Amino acid sequence: GQSLEQPSEVTAVEGAIVQINCTYQTSGFYGLSWYQQHDGGAPTFLSYNALDGLEETGRFSSFLSRSDSYGYLLLQELQMKDSASYFCAVRRAGNMLTFGGGTRLMVKP
Amino acid sequence: NAGVTQTPKFRVLKTGQSMTLLCAQDMNHEYMYWYRQDPGMGLRLIHYSVGEGTTAKGEVPDGYNVSRLKKQNFLLGLESAAPSQTSVYFCASSQPGESHTDTQYFGPGTRLTVL
């Protein structure tokens, strides 16, 4: 089976840096994706790691260690608009995604 | 481009009623997916399709059926709705090989309540 673990909630202040961790157990692993979802909205793609290492996209970075079955999303220079839920998702064959339960990020002034 | 659209946006059903949710995409994507999201949880894959005329079961297929008669449309049917199917339903599409990320693009969701 597949399972992903991520913290349910994280709180940080505006301008700070926050890291959201994700550990996974799965078969047929192709890569780890991250999606953002604002309340009442649809998930939107943030980042993807197929290989070990860091991927940087503006204020967001994502890291993967395949040997440790571990990844994280790093958000820098936090803004109020970053308050949302963040989901890690394992990509499998057929581009299927298995999602974690999500981490609710609250950014405070 | 409208991207991925879903119809309807909201629906209330009584137990035992049937309904069909429609998903349409105008990006010419091969792959389409149906997910459900329960409060405070991640998305779970119901069914998916890797091309016109093909469908396959995901993680939670029981109680649902799907059809992909046209490439741009993916229909999700509930034959006999149950309160346990109260959820938000998201459709998504992707194009294999379009980029190394194979991003899935999601529709706005359908909020379904079964009484």
A36-77 tens-digit pLDDT: 999 999 999 999 999 999 999 899 999 999 999 999 999 999
Residue type, B76: L
CA-based nearest distance B67→chain A, Å: 18
Q: Does pLDDT of A18 surpass 70?
A: yes
C-alpha dihedral sign at B20, B22, B23, B25: positive
Interface contact B101-A45, CB threshold 8 A = yes
- A88: tokens are 């890690």
Interface contact B102-A91, CB threshold 8 A = yes
| Per-residue pLDDT reduced to its tens digit, B3-38 | 999 999 999 999 999 999 999 999 999 999 999 999
Q: Does pLDDT of A79 surpass 80?
A: yes
**A24 φ, ψ to 5°?**
-140, 155
Average pLDDT, stretch B80-100? 90
Q: Which of B41, B45, B48 minimises the CB distance to A101?
A: B41
How high is the pLDDT of residue A102? 96
CA-based nearest distance A83→chain B, Å: 15
> Could you tell me if B19 and B8 are in contact, meaning their C-beta atoms sit under 8 angstroms apart?
no
Q: Return the percentage of chain B with pLDDT > 70, whole number.
A: 97
Q: Which of B45, B103, B107 minimises the CB distance to A96?
A: B45
Arithmetic mean of pLDDT over chain B: 94
How high is the pLDDT of residue B98? 65
How high is the pLDDT of residue B97? 75
- A31: tokens are 């890569």
Interface contact A102-B40, CB threshold 8 A = yes
Q: Which of A87, A96, A100 minimises the CB distance to B48?
A: A96
Pairing of strands B110-114, B10-13: parallel
Pairing of strands A103-108, A9-13: parallel
